[in-house]
Structure 1
Amino acid sequence: MFTIIGCNTLKRVDDDELLLTKNSIYADDIKVSDDDIKSLIIQKPNSNLLGYPLRLNLYNLAKKNPDSSFQDWLHRKEKREKRLNRLLSKKQVDRLKESFVVKGASDFLKRVGESPVTIDSSLAQKSTGRLKAYYNSKGYFNNSGTYTIVEGKRKKRAEIDYKISLEKPFLIDTIVKNITSPELDSIYDVSMDLSFVKDGEQFDLANFNQERERLTTLFRNSGVYNFQESSINYNIQRDTSQVSDDQLMDVQLNIEKPRNVNDSTNSTYRVHRLKKINIYTDYFGRSQTDSVKSVNHENYTIFYTNKLKYKPKALTDAVFFEKDSIYRDLDRIRTYRQITNLNTFKYPNIEFIPDTTQAQLISNIYLAPRPKFSLNMDFDLTHSNIQRVGTAFSTTLITRNVFGGAETLNISARGSIGLLSDATLSDETFTSELGGDINITFPRIWFPLNTEKIIPYYMLPQSRFLVGTNFQRNIGLDKQTFNTILSYNWSPSDSKKHNIELLNVEFVRNVNPDNFFNVYQNTYSNLNDIADSYEDETGTDAFFDDNQDLIVPDGADGFIDYVLAGNEQSDDDFSDVRSIMERRDRLTENNLIFASNYTFTKNSKVDITDNDFYQFRVKLESAGNLLSLLEGVVPYNKNDNEQLLVFGVPFSQYLKTEFDFIRHWEVADSKVLAFRSFFGLAIPYGNSENIPFVRSYFAGGSNDNRAWNAYELGPGKTNNVNDFNEANLKLAFNLEYRFPIAGDVKGAFFADVGNIWNVFDNEDNPDAIFSGFDSLTDIALGTGFGLRYDFTYFVFRLDVGFKTYNPAEESQNRWFRDYNFRNSVFNIGINYPF
């Protein structure tokens, strides 16, 4: 086998060529491991998958010249071409050589594969030059470099060793400034301590580039609106080819005059102030006429045609320039962002007209309104193991500038209908769902108190008020929900975001609770097994059908009442039946959740190509406290469990916290190590003994522990007790190594660790309860691999998870008990799990 692989690898390597297997860089005989320096080498070995050159061997599988091969085959027998022409026609035979079988397969293999990288001495010489230039930029001006081709023991293979002799580096002795503008000179002097170029440090070109960027930003934010980075340059004031004992050099900073684009004369950079700020609200690229009207508001002039459609304050709050203040580039960027955040105008055009005699600016801000109304519609066809066929639709009507303050109103409706694939699933033939939302967004904090000093407009504040409802009729419990949300969000910077849901109310009503045992088959099966030994007891006949199975719902409910009335055969039966009853009551009860929460998110990711970043999210939520405080004011009713009722429903009361941390490391080119950790805890108290199902945690699934299906893992070391296992404490850790395979096809190896438990609630099953550090032995481990295809805008993902450590098994059988494809779990997802 290894002989075949070796021969295939060298298939396209000629006898006078050497396959490049490795590059090594040595700086003063010390091996360099820095990936940035390694990237300077032009020729790199063929990529490999776990040491195997997969893409190279795919390339070698392609025919070198499929057209010639086809012609040789066609004419190998004298009458073959004639027979094919009679059978297919001459035109179709000509097309055959362009087919996938003849040519397309080879083209595909060449496209996803890699041609062999053979050593090219000219490219090695260029790589040496690039390495010398890099170390030259670090102050090693007298460095020298060579490369050596080292042939390996295996034939037609070789490595290249690049060796750089650094010599002694140069240090900066004194920085001398030569700034032509007195105003720039004063600004520079104030900020000298922040300079990236410092006396006594080793010369580093990267520091000089950072300093040019810093000074450009500094000057543009200090009134010099037209400052050009090209005006900054440095002179080294010594002959760097001469080696000395001290290796010190002086550096001169030059900030020259700007070049006027209209002529060859030079002018001096000056600090400009804003003389006038004009806002044009109806600008469509045409010149303004005498019919344009204007209004002044807080030192701003607003121009409009016919009628002003916007409140002046809504416009001026989005502009961060102020009359008589110095120009700041930061204010220009913030103005662009906030106007875009209004969602009422297209991307704005901001113009600055200078008065060079007085160093003043006139700012013209041109706004092109978006359409007042827009309508979005979606229609989908679906198919699943439950639905033979289904249709879903949604439509959203967007109305902008509703009250004249750049508010956006969204009215959406959605619905679906489907034909059941199995008539035994329900008495109904069709499933259906209908819902709608009214959502209004304000580009400011909508609150009785003024929050502008705490949350200024440059933080892009938004307020959102939503009211929605949903009606669902299917094979489940048939839910009706009503929810309303009042939330605020703002971003102090591109990497940080705050979100407060001051009011989050959700009411869930189960319309068809009698269908519980038809939906939760595992729970019914457990109850039915217990009932087997009660079939012959007096008074139980009415609970069973002709097959001696409990009748749903009357028989199951009657049997539960029968056992809990004191007719149990054992304490275990009583405990198990009571647990089933409590679960049934919990999952069929109506819920009223009156909550508030706060979420903080920080993300260091720069753009979509950034593979080295972290993301942190923390969330705090409280439910039911406000309603509980009103107990002495509002005359609440109570149920048999002494729970306070609102509209006949006990409201939920709990505290909940979540911590989510994600970290990505770019190990090498396109190879990423990704890590995620999650901790969530919800504690019921006061009016609740447990957490509502819709706010509890589950484990398993394509974005969690991929060796278990969603809701299948836990709680604790229980083994599939229920159809939908959930709890109020969750720990999860995920580690994934992502790497390229061929073209847009990616691969991954992963390990998922975690579980859910019950804690501080009314659960009495010790296997499901977190009782301390000893319960950490119940953490499950799933490992596996995945394939992904990158469509640029999204990633299609297939992961296969294996149960490596299963806490639900007996302690001696927990490791690798079901570690095989027969018991593996296949997960399909869109985009990466974290």
Structure 2
Amino acid sequence: MKIQDSKILFIILIFGFLTSCNSIKRVPKNAHLLTKTTIKVNDKNEESEAVTNLIHQKPNSSIPYINFKTRLYLYNWARPNLDSILKARVKNNPKRTARQTRFLSKKQFNQGQRMKLGFNKWLKETGEAPVIVNDSLSKKTAKRLEDYYWNNGWLDVKTDFETIRNDNQRASVTYKVITGEPYIIDSLSTNIETPVIDSLYQNSLSESLIKPNKQYKTNDGLAERDRITDMLRNSGVYHFSQDNILFKMDSIGKTKKINIELYISEKPIRKEDTTLYEPFKIYKVKDVNIYTNNAFEDKDIPIKDTTFYNGYNIYSKEKLRFNSKMLTDAVFIKPKTLFRDKNKSLTSRRISNLKTFKYPKIEYVENTADTTLTANIYLTPLKRFSLGFSAEASQSNIQTIGFSLNPSLLMRNVFKGAETLELSGIASIGASKDGSNERDQFFDINEIGANLRLTIPRLFSPFNTEKIIPSSMFPSTRISLATTSQTNVGLDKQTATGTFNYRWFPNNKVSNRLDVFNVQFVKNLNTGNYFNVYENSFNSLNTIAINSGYINSGETLALPNQANLFIADATSGNVSGITTTDLQTVKAINERKERLTEENLILATNFSYTKDRRDNLFDNDFSIFRLRLELAGNVLAATSNMLGLQKNNNDKYELFNVAFSQYVKTELDYVKYWDLGAKNVIAIRSFFGIAIPYGNSTNIPFAKSFFGGGANDNRAWSAYNLGPGSTQSVNEFNEANMKIALSAENRFNLFGALNGALFVDAGNIWNVLDDVDDDASTFNAISSIKDIAVGSGFGLRYDFNFFILRGDIGFKTYDPAYNEGNRWFK
């Protein structure tokens, strides 16, 4: 009965939605629904976003490609005045209401009424009211189009519109634009009343955005006004503003040419009801005063410590606890130098980046007697110590329950140079069932670790780097040491890391990072538990042992000794019943086991370059380029004899009984977004990475290798489940030392904050120039491109403003793990 009722309800819902799909359901009589708008410029359709965005009225939004007006249909499904309708039902049907309240209770009945109203309200707010043709808005659009083309040089432009109303209450509007010939700038003359301003302008004339023989554009004049203002205010003209600039335009008869005159007035001085003018003057900064205690609670405390350093006056209401050089290096406003407006914003940003003070207050005081300025910089120190603490509870497929604590201590201005020292720790315990642990302890997972990080707001170097990387690039140095010890259901390991790196920003779009050294040491403590963790590998090994007659059917290799012994016997040719294919599989399992249980010592130097053209978080028309180059092991290789390092049985040098890694690795990553308007965005990504071992290494450490699949890669495969090459993924974690990844995605709005996406991902990982000799997983030549996997699918994104909830479904469109004639999805 319940199944039958569900079917009936489903049919009613489908019927209700289909009836709401009458797009003119909520269109009043004698009104028309706008279904199409067209812009014709000189009798040709114009579809550029810059022009179509000028239209005041557009048809209701629809899902791209299928033109389904979801939001309009949701709105139509809502009932107007539902509140009045429900009240009328209650009033006009007292017996029916009484029966419902007896059956449901009055409280449940009222709650049901509120739920109906709430759902109806959601339909209205999520939906979109029908767009009714409005001639007055069409007139405004025509005027807006006229202004747009006029401002872009077509001064004789004429616009009109035509509305076609059909009998089915639907209508379309066509806007017609006749531009005529564009006007060209014939000459640019100047009338600058202050001689010093005229001289500065003439020196920068080559940078002017208004040039003869160029089509006239109003925006060029606005941009030129901004350029002149910035140029003058950064050349000492303290009182200059945009209001002092005026462009006068004069057309030349019927020649479609324009003469432009640039007029820059003198400095206006307003006195009561009159305005006087005087020439602008060049200002210099005479004094710079730095006040280190500007907190409100300290406002009545007198100055106790005064320091004069490198031309700066430094004042403190207590004994000065900041290094004078640090303070003055953070200030770009220099004494006895020309006033430059940009130095104020640079100083504010630099001081904020010190993370020792709050956002500074900077003001200029004019010295009218000698045409100079005094710069006062007010600083408010942050608290010297900050204590942080966080706790977390978690659950996973291998952990029944886990708890972690993360305390941290932040110390500012440690060495009086705005250095920041942060000490943080982690302590966690968890419960799981370890198959190899007969006692089955409840809390059998634990981790403890500590991290010490020192941040210095400059390049910490014995050399003078100011000329190469000046303070205007906001350089910083970070030194960190970390160690962790894990006991878990896996291999158990101890790690130690240390880094010394520089960061600097040549401009707002570019960031650089140089790790002078990056040391990583990994020691596995419980390698005997390998096959308990990687069960897929063990199951394959056990099946081969049965098929080869090494053990009887129904038996299981004892862990870890018998499994390791079988691998040794098989690879040495002591198992007679094993096939060539199975022997290859055993070798692959053994190779993977050695890779994942080996201890690593990595001493690397790497450089990262990022160019991000994104203006802000809401920018959907930008590109990002990332480059990374890493060199590891060269220092140890060059000094191995000097350090007296000995080689192991594999002819590799060891340090602390671990063979150090030696390789070169590079990554190239490019992302590009195109904003098509109406929340429709196309995004592409391309990635190439390769790591080549040499010298003391024949393969790449697992932590430095590449993997395919996952939410941020090829979404048709789960993480580590793709490749390498055309091999079938039988292991839990598949990795290699070369990767190609490509992705294209179209994102569009469905309704409200819900967006949809269609995507295609392509790529794979391969082994190259290492010790893997499996042809299926190796990139041998350009023909290996045929093993690039292709996944496609769709997804939903819900925008919460502060984060986006994303869900994707990917299909294996082209799977290289199958035979070549059967790889495409059918």
Deviation at 1:547, TM superposition (A): 4.1
Q: What does the per-residue CA deviation read over 1:379-427, in whole Å, with 9 as the maximum and x for residues that have no partner?
A: 2221222222222221221100000011000101112222227878885
Q: Tell me if 1:355 matches 2:367.
A: yes
Matching residue within 138, 144, 151 for 2:152: 138
Matching residue within 252, 261, 284 for 1:252: 261
Partner residue in 2 for 1:462? 476
Matching residue within 593, 596, 600 for 2:602: 593
Deviation at 1:567, TM superposition (A): 1.2
Q: How does 1:660-699 map to 2 (within 5 A)?
A: 660-699=669-708
- The alignment's C-alpha RMSD in Å is 2.2
Q: Tell me if 1:57 matches 2:73.
A: yes
Matching residue within 456, 462, 469 for 1:442: 456
Instruction: Rate the CA distance shift 1:290–1:586 in 2: closer, same or farther, 3 A.
Output: closer
Partner residue in 2 for 1:281? 292
Q: How far apart are the structure 1 equivalents of 2:49 and 2:547?
A: 70
Deviation at 1:260, TM superposition (A): 4.7
Q: How far apart are the structure 2 equivalents of 1:397 and 1:290?
A: 32
Between 367-376 and 199-208, report the one with greater CA deviation: 199-208
Q: Indicate the SS of the match to 2:643.
A: coil
Instruction: Rate the CA distance shift 1:165–1:578 in 2: closer, same or farther, 3 A.
Output: closer
Contact 2:681–2:748 (CA<8 Å) still a contact in 1?
yes
Matching residue within 186, 193, 208 for 1:180: 193
Q: Indicate the SS of the match to 1:269.
A: coil
Partner residue in 1 for 2:513? 499
Deviation at 1:106, TM superposition (A): 1.1
Q: How far apart are the structure 2 equivalents of 1:137 and 1:346?
A: 44
Partner residue in 1 for 2:557? 550
Matching residue within 171, 174, 181 for 1:158: 171
Deviation at 1:583, TM superposition (A): 1.8
Q: How far apart are the structure 1 equivalents of 2:139 and 2:803?
A: 40
What amino acid does structure 1 have at the position aligned with 2:117?
Answer: K
Instruction: Rate the CA distance shift 1:260–1:522 in 2: closer, same or farther, 3 A.
Output: farther
Q: What does the per-residue CA deviation read over 1:249-286, in whole Å, with 9 as the maximum and x for residues that have no partner?
A: 33222222344577554443221101111111111246
Q: What does the per-residue CA deviation read over 1:652-680, in whole Å, with 9 as the maximum and x for residues that have no partner?
A: 11110100000001122211100000000
Instruction: Rate the CA distance shift 1:283–1:631 in 2: closer, same or farther, 3 A.
Output: same
Q: How far apart are the structure 2 equivalents of 1:590 and 1:382?
A: 29
Q: How far apart are the structure 2 equivalents of 1:620 and 1:247?
A: 55
Partner residue in 2 for 1:828? none
Q: How does 1:587-666 map to 2 (within 5 A)?
A: 587-666=596-675
Contact 1:386–1:422 (CA<8 Å) still a contact in 2?
no
Q: How far apart are the structure 2 equivalents of 1:522 and 1:207?
A: 66
Q: What does the per-residue CA deviation read over 1:312-360, in whole Å, with 9 as the maximum and x for residues that have no partner?
A: 1001111112222111122222111111111111111111011234221
Q: Indicate the SS of the match to 1:8.
A: coil
Deviation at 1:768, TM superposition (A): 0.6
Q: Indicate the SS of the match to 1:79.
A: helix
Q: How does 1:525-564 map to 2 (within 5 A)?
A: 525-535=539-549, 547-564=554-571
Matching residue within 106, 120, 133 for 2:134: 120
Deviation at 1:110, TM superposition (A): 1.2
Matching residue within 190, 198, 205 for 1:192: 205
Partner residue in 1 for 2:823? 814
Partner residue in 1 for 2:8? none
Q: How does 1:155-304 map to 2 (within 5 A)?
A: 155-237=168-250, 244-260=253-269, 265-266=275-276, 267-285=278-296, 287=299, 290-304=302-316
Q: Indicate the SS of the match to 1:437.
A: strand
Q: Tell me if 1:40 matches 2:54.
A: yes
What amino acid does structure 2 have at the position aligned with 1:230?
Answer: D
Contact 1:425–1:475 (CA<8 Å) still a contact in 2?
no
Q: Taking every aligned residue pair, what percent have the same amino acid on both sides?
A: 41
Partner residue in 1 for 2:442? 429
Contact 2:714–2:763 (CA<8 Å) still a contact in 1?
yes
Deviation at 1:529, TM superposition (A): 1.3
Instruction: Rate the CA distance shift 1:796–1:4 in 2: closer, same or farther, 3 A.
Output: closer
Contact 1:277–1:363 (CA<8 Å) still a contact in 2?
yes
Deviation at 1:711, TM superposition (A): 0.4
Instruction: Rate the CA distance shift 1:762–1:322 in 2: closer, same or farther, 3 A.
Output: same
Deviation at 1:371, TM superposition (A): 0.6
Between 616-625 and 377-386, report the one with greater CA deviation: 377-386
What amino acid does structure 2 have at the position aligned with 1:558?
Answer: L
Partner residue in 2 for 1:517? 531
Q: Indicate the SS of the match to 1:507.
A: strand
Q: How far apart are the structure 2 equivalents of 1:237 and 1:698?
A: 65
Contact 1:568–1:574 (CA<8 Å) still a contact in 2?
no
Deviation at 1:75, TM superposition (A): 4.1
Partner residue in 1 for 2:340? 328
Contact 2:303–2:315 (CA<8 Å) still a contact in 1?
no
Q: How far apart are the structure 1 equivalents of 2:119 and 2:693?
A: 61
Q: How far apart are the structure 2 equivalents of 1:355 and 1:419?
A: 72
Q: How far apart are the structure 1 equivalents of 2:570 and 2:98?
A: 87
What amino acid does structure 1 have at the position aligned with 2:249?
Answer: I
Q: Tell me if 1:369 matches 2:381.
A: yes
Matching residue within 393, 396, 420 for 1:384: 396
What amino acid does structure 1 have at the position aligned with 2:72?
Answer: L
Instruction: Rate the CA distance shift 1:253–1:83 in 2: closer, same or farther, 3 A.
Output: same
Between 416-425 and 122-131, report the one with greater CA deviation: 416-425
Matching residue within 103, 106, 118 for 1:104: 118
Contact 2:392–2:403 (CA<8 Å) still a contact in 1?
yes
Q: How far apart are the structure 1 equivalents of 2:759 and 2:372?
A: 60
Q: TM-score, normalised by structure 1?
A: 0.93
Deviation at 1:81, TM superposition (A): 3.1
Question: Could you list the runs of 5+ residues in structure 1 that have no partner in the other structure?
Answer: 818-834
Q: Tell me if 1:417 matches 2:420.
A: no
Q: Tell me if 1:67 matches 2:80.
A: no
Q: How far apart are the structure 1 equivalents of 2:670 and 2:182?
A: 42
Q: What does the per-residue CA deviation read over 1:481-514, in whole Å, with 9 as the maximum and x for residues that have no partner?
A: 1000000010000100110001100001111100
Q: Indicate the SS of the match to 1:485.
A: strand
What amino acid does structure 1 have at the position aligned with 2:449?
Answer: G
State the aligned residue count: 803
Q: How far apart are the structure 2 equivalents of 1:335 and 1:693?
A: 44
Contact 1:504–1:596 (CA<8 Å) still a contact in 2?
yes
Q: What does the per-residue CA deviation read over 1:728-778, in whole Å, with 9 as the maximum and x for residues that have no partner?
A: 000000101011111111111110100000011111211111101111110
Question: Could you list the runs of 5+ residues in structure 2 that have no partner in the other structure?
Answer: 1-13
Deviation at 1:78, TM superposition (A): 4.0
Contact 2:548–2:575 (CA<8 Å) still a contact in 1?
no
Contact 2:20–2:76 (CA<8 Å) still a contact in 1?
no
Contact 2:21–2:73 (CA<8 Å) still a contact in 1?
no
Q: How far apart are the structure 2 equivalents of 1:92 and 1:708?
A: 47
Q: How far apart are the structure 1 equivalents of 2:369 and 2:678?
A: 54
Q: Tell me if 1:772 matches 2:785.
A: no
Contact 1:385–1:421 (CA<8 Å) still a contact in 2?
no
Q: What does the per-residue CA deviation read over 1:201-249, in whole Å, with 9 as the maximum and x for residues that have no partner?
A: 33211111111111111111111133211221222245x9xxx421333
Q: Indicate the SS of the match to 1:332.
A: helix
Q: How far apart are the structure 2 equivalents of 1:424 and 1:794?
A: 42
Deviation at 1:458, TM superposition (A): 0.7
Contact 1:228–1:258 (CA<8 Å) still a contact in 2?
no
Q: Indicate the SS of the match to 2:206.
A: helix
Q: How far apart are the structure 2 equivalents of 1:689 and 1:168?
A: 69
Instruction: Rate the CA distance shift 1:22–1:638 in 2: closer, same or farther, 3 A.
Output: same
Partner residue in 1 for 2:325? 313
Q: Indicate the SS of the match to 2:784.
A: helix
